[in-house]
Amino acid sequence: MEFSYLNVAMFGVGVFLLMGVISFIKQGIKFGALVLLVLTALAFTAGALRL
């Protein structure tokens, strides 16, 4: 298993988007939270597939 800059960047983007999901849920914006959750899953998947 080899970590590269791109892997770390994709996981970082995933964490950033996950914080956005939590913020949207607290504000009651459920549709925005759902969209961000999908983007978060894609970012984590891209980071994991690059490993």
Query: Considering the entire predicted model, what is its pTM?
Result: 0.77
C-alpha span between 22 and 30 (Å, rounded): 10
Residue 1 scores a pLDDT above 70: no
Domain assignments of the chain as residue spans, ordered by start: 5-49
**pLDDT at position 35:** 92
Which of 10, 11, 18, 15 lies closest to 36, judged by CA? 18
C-alpha span between 26 and 40 (Å, rounded): 17
**pLDDT at position 4:** 82
